[in-house]
Amino acid sequence: MIGRLSIDGQMLAVVTLSTILLLILPQVFEIDTILQLTLNFSFSILALSLAFVWGYAGIFSFGQAAFFGIGGYAYAATAINLGDSTPAIVAGVLVPTLFAALFGYFVFYARLTKIYVAVITLVMTLILYKFMGQTAKPDYMIGNARLGGYNGIPAVPPINVPGQPHLFAGPDEMFYIAGFSLLAVYVLLRWILGTRFGKVIIGMRENEKRMELLGFDTRLYKLLAFVVAAAVAGFGGVVFTNWNAFIDPHVFQLAFSAQPIIWVMIGGLGTLAGPILGTFILSTLSLELGVQKALDVNLLLGAIFTFFVLLVPQGIIPTVRNLLENREAAASNKTDGTTESRG
């Protein structure tokens, strides 16, 4: 379905419920749960970026985590140099956006097919991993920020009240910032999907050739969707770096790049709520299993992924929605049948 957003009832309910939850949760949970939820929020923003570019525009970007990492590094370097988080947040979104615009121009205007887009975005991420890993020498500095190779950039300044670096966010404030950021990104993407641009990218996912035959320059629309997704992923990286107060090249690793793909697939491709759900389930599960050390985390995650690919290929949200629709249709047919037989 093509998404629509005028601020409709459903959206209003989502916003209201989410706001209430965000305000209540810190009063209910201990600090470790709050920190875990904050991490989940930042990962969910990354998942939403992939959900948008892959689930709606039909572009399988295997390297979506690259923009997340670039956003994180850009935030860290700017915050260390300027000592204020406001321009650092702008840089954390702007740098991956510009990088995606340049990279995407060559990818989409060269009319690379889907499989090559997936491969080249993955290769880009792995190149960034290698490059950032070899920046341990003191020569690799951005102003006062030392990139630090595989050790990364430590002691990244947290988000502060604009112009007042001494008034910075603690874990509770960071929870609210991350939570409301996720909500804002969700509303923004829902809004975009309801615009003409959103409808065009969905059309492109469904039938790119027909879109061209109607007069749409699909190269341009793909590039725009890719750039929007990169900006969102970069913002996720900013939130993540704030949560961690640290960023290192592991965000460019193959294992990290694969994670959002699994979150999106399990939650449900072609939805926005599904990938958030998938992120929360898998990220929390990874943490719990890691703490208990009873089972190998990767082994169990692999098994869950295989289970979903084979038995629930559409993911949680679309499967539940189909079940409900089918039940509704069956009930409606039953009612019609009863009415007819009575008639």
Partner 1 sequence: MHFGGVKAVESITFTLGEGELRCLIGPNGAGKSTFFRCLTKIYRPNAGKIYFRGRDVTSIATHEMARLGVGIKTQVPSVFDGLTVHENLTLAASARHRGREVGRMVDEVVERLSLQAVLGARLDRLSHGERQWIELAIVITSKPSLILLDEPTAGMTHAEVEHTATLIRELNKSAALIVVEHDMQFIRSIATHVTVFHEGRIFLEESAEKVLHDERVGEIYLGKGAFAK
- Catalog residues that contact partner 1 under the rule CB under 8 A: 1-2, 196, 199-200, 202-203, 205-207, 209-218
Question: Which of 113/292 has CB closer to partner 1?
Answer: 113
Rounded to a whole number of angstroms, the minimum distance from the CB of residue 195 to partner 1 is 10
- Residue 155 Cβ, how far from partner 1 at the closest point, in Å? 48
Cα separation, 203 vs 219, in Å, equals: 13
> In terms of CB distance, is 212 or 288 closer to partner 1?
212
Q: For residues 123 and 214, which CB has a smaller minimum distance to partner 1 in the complex?
A: 214
Of residues 109 and 307, the one with the C-beta less far from partner 1:
109
Token digits of residue 179 = 């939570």
Do 284 and 36 touch, CB atoms closer than 8 A?
A: yes
CB of 280 to partner 1, least distance (A): 27
Q: Which is nearer to partner 1, 137 or 210 (CB)?
A: 210
- Cα(170)–Cα(183) distance, integer angstroms: 20
The least distance separating partner 1 from the CB of residue 179, rounded to whole angstroms, comes to: 32
CA atoms within 13 A on the CB side of 79: 32
CB 318 → partner 1: shortest distance, Å? Answer: 11
SS3 250: helix
Burial-class residue 270 by CB neighbours within 10 Å (0-12, 13-18, 19+).
Answer: buried
Q: For residues 170 and 166, what is the distance between their CA atoms, to the nearest angstrom?
A: 12
Our CB check for partner 1 shows the closer of 1 and 310 to be 1
Closest separation in Å from C-beta 203 to partner 1: 5
Question: Distance between alpha carbon 144 and the CA centroid of its chain, in Å?
Answer: 30
CB nearer partner 1, residue 199 or residue 250: 199
Please give the distance of CA 128 from its chain centroid, rounded to a whole number. 19
Least separation in angstroms between CB 209 and partner 1:
6
Residue 142, classed as helix, strand or coil, is: strand
Segment 307-316 long-range contacts (CB within 8 Å, at least 24 positions apart) = 308/265, 308/266, 309/265, 312/266, 314/268, 314/269, 315/264, 315/265, 315/266, 315/267, 315/268, 315/269, 315/271, 315/274, 315/278, 316/266, 316/267, 316/268, 316/274, 316/277, 316/278
